Amino acid sequence: MRCAGKAGVVTGTSRGLGREILLALSREGASVVAVARDAEAGRRSAEEAAAGQGHAIFQQGDVRREDDVVAAIETCRGEFGTLDFIVNNAGILGEGRLHETTNEQWDDLVATHMTGTFWGCKHAIGAMLEGDRGGSIVNIGSILSFTGDGYLAAYTAMKSGVLGLTKAIAIDYALAGIRCNCVCPGDMETPMIQQYFDGTEDPVAAREEMEAAYPGRRIAQAGEVAAAVVFLVSDESSFVNGAPILVDGGLTAKTY
C-alpha cells in the first residue's frame, strides 16, 4: 500500500506498459483515472485494476487533444479530491529511416509523445500548484532518450525530447514540492514490440537477435518497468527529482 491516499492519472492504459502501470499502482492503493483511446480495452483494464487495493475509473481520451488531457485531470480532482501524480505513458511506435519518414508520421509522433506529454505536465502542474501539496510527474522515455536507432529516427527524437522536458520541469518546480522524473525502459514484452517483430521478414530471428543484445539474454516484462513507476509515485522517492531511471537490464552499460 505504498501509494495509499494518492490519486492521479495514467495515460495509454489499454494495453502494454500503461496497463501494467495502472494495475501496479492500484495494487499499492492508489486511485487512478485511466485514460486510453481504445474504449473497450481501456475499460477492461480499469475494471481489472478496480478489483485491486485501490480505485480506478476509465475515461476515454486521446493525449493528442488538449481538452481530453484537461478532462482527465479534472475528473481525478472531482472524483478523488486531489491530483498527486500523473504518468505520461501514452505512446506510439514510429518505424523507418529518416528520409522515409512522412510528414504525417512525424506530426503524429510529435502530437502523441511531445505535445501530449507537454499538456499532461502543464495541466498537472497547474492542478498541483492549486492543491499546494506537491506531486509526482512520471514521464515515460526510453533507452533512446540516450542512444540512437537509425530505423527509429523520429521516435528517438521524441524520447530525447521527453527527457529534456523532464529535467527542465524538475528544476523549475522543486520548491513547490513537485518532482518530475523519467522512466527509460529498454525493450519490453508488449504489443508494441510484437508489432515490430511482426514487421520483419523473420519475427523469430528478430526476437533472438534483440534478446542476444541484452546481458541477461532477455527483454523486460512490462511489470518490471511498472515497478519503477510505482517507486517514483510513492514517497519512497521523495528526493529523486529530474532523474532518468534506466530499466534496461544493463543494455546501455555495455559497449558491444
DSSP string, 13-71: -SSHHHHHHHHHHHHTT-EEEEEES-HHHHHHHHHHHHTSSSEEEEEE--TTSHHHHHH
Rounded-to-integer distance, Cα 128 and Cα 141, Å? 22
> Of 155, 196, 214, 256, which residue is the catalytic one?
155
Written as nine digits, the cell of 152 is 527509429
3-state SS class at 138: strand
Q: Which residue has the cell 475509473?
A: 57
Q: Are 219 and 186 in contact (CB under 8 A)?
A: yes
List the beta bridge partners of residue 87.
Answer: 10, 138
> Could you confirm whether 155 is annotated as catalytic?
yes
Q: Known catalytic residues? A: 155
